[in-house]
Amino acid sequence: MATQPPQSSAVDVGKAACAACKKQRKRCDEKCKLAKLFTAEQGGDFEAVHRVFGIKNLLAMLDMVEGEERKRAAREAIVWEARQRLADPVNGSFGQMARLQEQLLKVCEENGMLRRQIKQMHFFMENASGDQRTAFRGST
């Protein structure tokens, strides 16, 4: 799971190079576009994105988004997408979506079955004699 970038905009870019600059062995200065999105401690996130998309595409994707908060959200999505692709090189995020869809379908079927059982129990309770109701309650 991706770690959250710091919420504060007061990241001291002068002290520790961000994960991107660290990887590229560049000096991380105040102009670095990735300093707030990939801190030095988030090297794993950056590595995944770097392997899947490359730095040029990462910067291009982030450039399409305006605002710090939206860039942070985009960063999370890009990291998730990259990790999915690395975990499943064939299906990537589509594979995860397909698995979740399958799971949802099973849960919906189970929900339907339980609703039918509840309906049957209500019907039984409404139509059963007093002794049958007592016996039924005692069995649960």
Binding flag, residue 19, Zn ion (CB under 5 A): no
Nearer to Zn ion, 25 or 137 (CB): 25
Taking the C-alpha atoms of residue 22 and residue 103, their distance in angstroms, rounded to an integer, is 40
CB of 79 to Zn ion, least distance (A): 16
Our finding on whether 49 is near Zn ion (CB under 5 A) is no
Residue among 6, 7, 16, 18 that touches Zn ion (CB under 5 A): 18
Q: Does 52 bind Zn ion (CB under 5 A)?
A: no
58 binds Zn ion (CB under 5 A): no
* Residues numbered 83-112 forming contacts with Zn ion, rule: CB under 5 A: none
Tokens found for residue 49: 């994105």
Among 5, 32, 39, 49, the residue binding Zn ion under the rule CB under 5 A is 32
Residue 78 CB-density burial (10 A; 0-12 exposed, 13-18 middle, 19+ buried):
buried
For 31, the token pair is 């102009």
Q: Could you say which DSSP state residue 40 is in? A: G
Could you give the C-alpha distances from 14 to 31, 36, 55, 59, 79, in angstroms and in order? 11, 12, 21, 21, 25
Q: Is 35 near Zn ion (CB under 5 A)?
A: yes
Residues of this chain that interact with Zn ion (CB under 5 A) are 18, 21, 28, 32, 35
